[in-house]
Amino acid sequence: MCCFDCELMPRLQHIRVAGSYFMQFEIPTYMKHLWHYMKHMYELEAFTQSCPADQDIINHYKLQQGMKMKKHEELEMPSFTTNIPVEVSTNGDD
C-alpha cells in the first residue's frame, strides 16, 4: 500500500457507500480493473483496520447537508461494505 492508495481507496469507499445510500449509485461491474483494485485493498489489514463503518460515512454526509442521524441508526451494529460483485470476483482475471 502506497501513499496514492491511502488517498484513493477511502474516496472510492465513500463514493461506493454514500453513492449507494443517497443516489442509488453502484460502481458498474464492467469496471473490472477498479473492482480488482478494490478487492485487493479490502484484503489489506491496513485498510480494513482504518476503514470507517458505513454508518459513519453516511452520517458524515448527512451532517454536511444539515440532516441528523436517527436514534435507531446510532444504535445499529456497524456494517462495512467490502463485498465484490459476483460477476467480477468469479471471472478468473486476477
- Which pLDDT tens digit goes with each residue over 25-56? 999 999 999 999 999 999 999 999 999 999 99
Helices 3-23, 32-42: inter-axial angle, 10-degree rounding: 110
Q: Which carries the bigger pLDDT value, residue 74 or residue 6?
A: 6
- Which pLDDT tens digit goes with each residue over 70-90? 766 666 788 999 999 988 876
Record the cell numbers describing residue 85, joined without a space: 460483485
For residue 13, what pLDDT band results from cuts at 50, 70 and 90? very high
Q: How far is CA 64 from CA 1, 16, 52, 57, 60, in A?
A: 30, 18, 17, 11, 6
CA neighbours closer than 13 Å in the CB half-sphere of residue 9: 24
Q: Which CATH number fits domain 3-89: 1.20.1090.10, 3.90.550.10, 1.20.1050.10, 3.10.330.20?
A: 1.20.1050.10
User: What pLDDT does residue 74 have?
Assistant: 65
CB distance 17 to 58 below 8 Å: yes
d(C-alpha 42, C-alpha 15), whole Å: 15
d(C-alpha 86, C-alpha 65), whole Å: 34
pTM for the model stands at 0.84
Q: What is the mean pLDDT of residues 2-26?
A: 95
User: What pLDDT does residue 73 have?
Assistant: 66
Domain extents in the chain: 3-89
